[in-house]
Structure formats: C-alpha cells, structure tokens
C-alpha cells in the first residue's frame, strides 16, 4: 500500500528564556513527520540539536532520503539500518509506531505489554545568577523534583541558593559538560553535602575517564556520553545512571533496547527530553514507566503547546491520549 509522507518545520515560543551552559534560546524548533496510508496517519516529532551536529536543514535532508522507502512500506527494522541514531530517525520511528497503533487499533502501550500510569517529572530551572535561580526555585518550591542547569564558575553558590529556596525538593544537577577534571571531585563533594540526588554529565563526552578514578559520593548520570545501545559498555565504572532521550537514540525502537541494555548492566535509568511539544514527549512517557528519574517537562517550558497535548497536573504527567499519539 502506497503511503504519503509529509514533513513540516514548526516553531513554539518558550515561556521566557531557556539557558544552559552552551547558550540560550527563546523558541523550540521542531520537525514533525507524518506518514499516511489510505485511512490513518501517524506522527512523530523531533528536535534537531546542534551539540550533535544537527540542524533543521540536515535533519530534513535525512528524512527526505528515506521518503521513497517509507512510501514503499519501510518498517522500523529497516529504518534502524537506513538512518543513524539522531533526531531524524526519531521523528520517523515514532511516526511509524503511531501509524501501526492507529492502523491496528492496538495502542503502543498494549503492544509493549505495559499499563501506563501518571508519573512525577522533574521541572527544569534555567542557568542564571544564584539570585535568579533562587527566584526560579522559590516559584517552583512545591514541585517534588527540580532539575537545575549549571555548568561554570559559581556553581556551588547556585546550588546552595536553589536548595535554600526549595528546601523540600529533590534536586538533579545538569552540568551539560560544563565542569572540568580540575573541579569535578570538589563539586561532587559539595553537591553531596548540599543534598543533591543526581548529577548529570559533569564532564565533556570523551573526556570523562576521570570519573572512574575519583570518589563519586552521589550518583552520576551520563547524557551526552550515551546515545544508543552500543555506547553502554564503555560507561561501566564511570557512571551510575544513563539519561535516555528519543532524539539521541533515534526513536522509541532503539530507546527501548537501550533501556534494556542499561538495566542489564546495572545502570539506573533516567528518561529525558529536549525542549519540544507534547507530541515529542508522548512516546517518552511510555518509555519512562518505572524509570528512576523522569524529566519530561518540555511542554511545561513552552508558552503554548499542541492541542490536544499531554495532561500535566503539577509535576504529574499522564500517558498520552490516542488523539495525540500511540
């Protein structure tokens, strides 16, 4: 059966400015792939990420390269061989999952053998001065889990300011590769003293071997250092947890395999996201069921989301309705 493929660029304004150690942005740029057969349409969303050498144009080009095969019936297994891990494959893979669900009448959760429920997600605080971050933390002090963007001089002051402003919240620190071999051990010790639950990617990917030689008084989570299943073995002894993101893994198919491999090696699992809409988060909500840490707050950071979108009640996110995805 011939399919019709459409690919669209969309922009969603962020509520304010989102800042990490590598820069700031005020908009979320996403790409949506839609695969239609005679009666149904499946959608998938991705966020191209420059840290991994992706642009909107390069991702559109990658998707375009597999359109003829998709039109002829390419399946998810074929896709894994046709495109590398990354945003382009994510959009197509998730669109295929969605199309399969709508064509068969079997929801993705049922296909995976899970009964999904509501989950607690982290809420992200942008990098700023200690005073600015304390203000963000105070405004969100009722949230049980905060993810705090850091990565530079003055990080300990930032962490202390957030802790004082939100004394009851659990805290994840995300350094986005912003620490160095010279300060990582000292910063980890200070974070442990302050009561941080997890530190994410403190050192640049490829420069993290020192993590195997120093004291890690709190769990350290790989993000930029892990994309797909084949990366897992190199992380043993360096990290305690891995952050799985659909845009890194290249879709739900590979992300499921990555989670299984990570847990088999004894890693705790975090499921995270780029800043995108509910369409991009929806498959990740299923992936994240039972994960140790969930960071799927992308839609909460936007000035507007899709309609229908995921339902958030405070920091609790519900599984996607069929009208959204899956």
Just list the catalytic residues: 149, 245
End-to-end CA distance of the chain: 21
> Contact at 8 Å (CB) between 281 and 308?
no
Torsion of CA 249, 255, 260, 264, to 10 degrees: 20
With residues binned 3-state (H G I as helix, E B as strand, rest as coil), the percentages for the chain, rounded to 5, are 40, 25, 40
**What does the alpha-carbon distance between residue 250 and residue 90 come to, in Å, rounded to a whole number?**
4
Query: Does residue 64 sit in helix, strand or coil?
Result: helix
Assign 3-class secondary structure to 169-202.
Answer: CEEEEECCCCCCCCCHHHHHHHHHHHCCCEEECC
> Contact at 8 Å (CB) between 172 and 200?
yes
> Contact at 8 Å (CB) between 219 and 199?
yes
Neighbours of 197 (CB within 10 A): 18
**What does the alpha-carbon distance between residue 115 and residue 230 come to, in Å, rounded to a whole number?**
29
Q: What angle do CA 59, 151, 87 make, to 5 degrees?
A: 15
**What does the alpha-carbon distance between residue 105 and residue 125 come to, in Å, rounded to a whole number?**
39
């Amino acid at each position: 059966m011939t399919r019709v493929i459409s690919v669209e660029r969309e922009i969603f304004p962020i509520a304010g400015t989102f800042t990490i150690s590598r820069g700031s942005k005020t908009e979320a740029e996403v790409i949506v792939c839609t695969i239609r057969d005679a009666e149904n349409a499946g959608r998938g969303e991705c966020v191209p990420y420059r840290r991994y050498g992706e642009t909107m144009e390069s991702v559109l080009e990658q998707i375009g390269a597999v359109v003829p095969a998709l039109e002829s019936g390419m399946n998810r297994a074929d896709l894994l061989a046709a495109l590398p891990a990354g945003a382009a494959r994510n959009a197509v893979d998730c669109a295929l999952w969605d199309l399969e669900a709508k064509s068969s009448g079997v929801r993705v959760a049922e296909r995976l053998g899970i009964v999904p429920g509501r989950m607690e997600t982290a809420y992200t605080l942008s990098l700023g001065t200690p005073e600015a971050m304390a203000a963000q933390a105070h405004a969100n002090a009722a949230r049980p889990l905060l993810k705090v963007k850091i990565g530079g001089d003055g990080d300990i002051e930032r962490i202390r300011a957030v802790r004082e402003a939100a004394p009851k919240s659990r805290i994840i620190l995300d350094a986005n590769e912003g620490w160095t071999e010279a300060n990582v051990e000292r910063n980890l010790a200070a974070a442990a003293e302050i009561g941080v639950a997890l530190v994410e990617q403190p050192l640049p990917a490829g420069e993290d071997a020192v993590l195997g030689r120093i004291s890690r008084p709190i769990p350290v989570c790989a993000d930029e250092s892990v994309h797909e299943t084949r990366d897992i073995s190199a992380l043993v002894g360096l990290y305690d947890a891995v952050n799985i993101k659909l845009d890194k893994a290249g879709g739900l198919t590979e992300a499921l395999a990555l989670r299984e491999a990570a847990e088999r090696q004894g890693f705790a699992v975090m499921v995270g996201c780029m800043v995108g809409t509910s369409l991009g988060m929806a498959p990740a909500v299923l992936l994240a069921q039972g994960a140790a840490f969930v960071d799927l707050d992308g839609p909460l950071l936007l000035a507007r989301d899709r309609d229908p979108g995921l339902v958030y009640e405070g920091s609790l996110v519900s599984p996607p309705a069929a009208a959204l995805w899956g």
